[in-house]
Amino acid sequence: MPALPSSEVCPGCGAVLAPVSDGGAVHPGASASCARLFEVTLRGLREEAPADAAAATVVRQADDAYDAQHPVAGDPARLRAALDRLGVSLDGTSTVVDRPPGAWRTTIADVAADLDVIDLAVLVESWARSVHHDWSAAASSRT
C-alpha cells in the first residue's frame, strides 16, 4: 500500500506542508494543503468581512497576495489584476509582470506560523508587501 508522502511542496509559493487527504479548499496553481491553510487562516476574517470594512480590506489584500503567489497557467489577467490591486493598495504603483520570482520571502505558511503572536491584519500586510517586492525584484532583474 503506497504511503502518503510526509510533505508536499506547493507549486505556487513553494510552501512545504503536510498533505491533506480530504480535498476541501482548492485554488488553481496551489497544492491542496496550501489552499487549505489559506482558507483556514483567513476563515475568521472572511466571516467578519461583510459587516466589517477593515476586515474586508484585509481579506481582499490576502486574496490578491495569494493569487499573485499562485499564478494560474493560461489566466494572466487574473495575475495582472491581483498585482495591480496589490501595488495600488501598498504604494500606488503597479508591478510590471515579466516572470515570476524564483523564490518567495514570505508565504501563507509564514503567516499562519506567526498568527499566535501577531495580528492577522499586520501579517497580511507584511506578506502582501513581500509578494509585491518579490515580483518587482524579479521584473527588474531581467537580462
Contact residues: Zn ion, CB under 5 A: 10, 12-13, 15, 30, 34
Nearer to Zn ion, 13 or 120 (CB): 13
* CA-based max dimension of the chain: 54
| Least CB distance to Zn ion at residue 37 (A) | 8
Q: Are 43 and 54 in contact (CB under 8 A)?
A: no
Q: How far is the CB of 11 from Zn ion (least distance, A)?
A: 8
Strands 8-9 and 16-17: antiparallel
Q: Given phi > 0 = left and psi -120 to 50 = alpha, else beta, which region is 29?
A: left
Q: How far is the CB of 41 from Zn ion (least distance, A)?
A: 12
What are 22's three cell numbers?
480530504
Q: How far is the CB of 97 from Zn ion (least distance, A)?
A: 19
Based on CB atoms, which residue is closest to Zn ion, 94 or 100? 100
If DSSP states are collapsed to H, E and C, what string results for 34-70?
A: HHHHHHHHHHHHHHHHHHCHHHHHHHHHHHHHHHHHC
